[in-house]
């Protein structure tokens, strides 16, 4: 029986049943059943009928919940595969292609100095691929939103990893309600933050990171706007260098953000440091 039919049956059957009972009681059963006993039996019949229908409805709802849960698990698995495929394509595959090009260049080297320079470049590319592979494996072992963690716990877990692996101290100021973002937005925002922190770890030589996220309701668009800042005190990098050939971190963050209608900007701070700003609309449109 469908969910729709159960709703209509719960509405109509008790009403029809009590009407039929009252009719039979007054026309046929009045000599056998007193008025007081009839009044007592009426709610008992309604309760029994309603309980029987509600049990079927609750069973249907439980089956629907189990189906939705299975669909969420399958969807999460596909999203993780999609994320891994994007990382492999945008980072590792390009690096391996560059490695192949440099190996060809090494074969054509005419002097020992050229060969040594190309060898150093190959070694640097290999280290870059190694770091990307390690990060991809870490993402598989530690999904952006772990099932046993809330979203805020996942963010703090991410900053604790930074402190343990490279000693960078991280301060988090989170002034955004947990229900402001959709589940997909939470996954993507955390992935962008992870990539930003990895870039700081690899290139910035920073000692401190400050993460601040805030939101406000915009009456014009009737939706909340958020802004998340990731500020470090490292050596910084010129914006044009972030988009050089072989640099994929900022591009990946921007592609993730643009898919949700967000924006990612990178600015140098004076006298040193870098600010990464993630901003856009939160919640479903």
Buried b (16+ CB within 10 A) or exposed e, 72-93: eeeebeebeeebeeebeebbbe
Q: What is the mean pLDDT of residues 43-72?
A: 79
Query: What are the tens digits of pLDDT across the range 261-270?
Result: 999 999 888 8
Query: What are the tens digits of pLDDT across the range 124-183?
Result: 778 767 766 766 666 555 544 444 445 677 788 778 877 777 788 899 998 887 778 887
Task: Supply the pTM of this predicted model.
Answer: 0.52
Query: What are the tens digits of pLDDT across the range 78-120?
Result: 766 666 666 665 556 666 777 787 888 888 888 888 888 888 8
Q: 146-285: which CATH topology?
A: Heat Shock Protein 90 (3.30.565)
H/E segment holding residue 267: strand 263-268
Which candidate, 213, 195, 241, 8, places its Cα nearest to that of 90?
195
Domain boundaries, the chain: 3-70, 146-285
Angle 70-72-73 (CA atoms, 0-180°, nearest 5)? 65
pLDDT at position 252 is 79
């Amino acid at each position: 029986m469908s969910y729709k039919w159960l709703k209509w049956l719960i509405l109509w059957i008790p009403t029809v049943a009590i009407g039929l009972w009252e009719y039979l009681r007054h026309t046929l059963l009045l000599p056998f059943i007193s008025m007081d006993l009839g009044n007592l039996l009426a709610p008992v019949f309604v309760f029994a009928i309603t309980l029987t229908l509600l049990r079927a409805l609750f069973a249907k709802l439980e089956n629907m919940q189990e189906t939705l849960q299975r669909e969420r698990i399958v969807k999460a698995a596909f999203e993780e595969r999609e994320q891994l495929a994007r990382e492999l394509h945008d980072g590792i595959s390009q690096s391996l292609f560059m490695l192949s090009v440099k190996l060809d260049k090494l074969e054509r080297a005419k002097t020992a100095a050229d060969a040594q320079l190309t060898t150093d470049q190959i070694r640097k590319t290999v280290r870059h691929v190694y770091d990307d592979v390690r990060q991809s494996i870490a993402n598989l072992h530690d999904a952006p939103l772990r099932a046993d963690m809330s979203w805020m716990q996942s963010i703090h877990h991410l900053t604790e990893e930074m402190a343990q692996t490279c000693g960078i101290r991280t301060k988090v100021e989170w002034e955004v309600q947990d229900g402001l973002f959709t589940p997909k937005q939470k996954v993507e925002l955390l992935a962008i933050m992870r990539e930003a922190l990895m870039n700081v770890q690899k290139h910035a030589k920073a000692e401190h990171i400050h993460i601040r996220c805030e939101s406000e309701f915009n009456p014009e668009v009737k939706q909340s706007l958020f802004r998340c800042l990731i500020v470090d005190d490292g050596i910084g990098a010129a914006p044009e260098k972030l988009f050089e050939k072989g640099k994929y971190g900022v591009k990946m963050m921007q592609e993730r953000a643009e898919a949700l209608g967000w924006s990612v900007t990178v600015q140098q701070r004076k006298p040193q440091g870098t600010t990464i700003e993630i901003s856009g609309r939160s919640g479903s449109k």
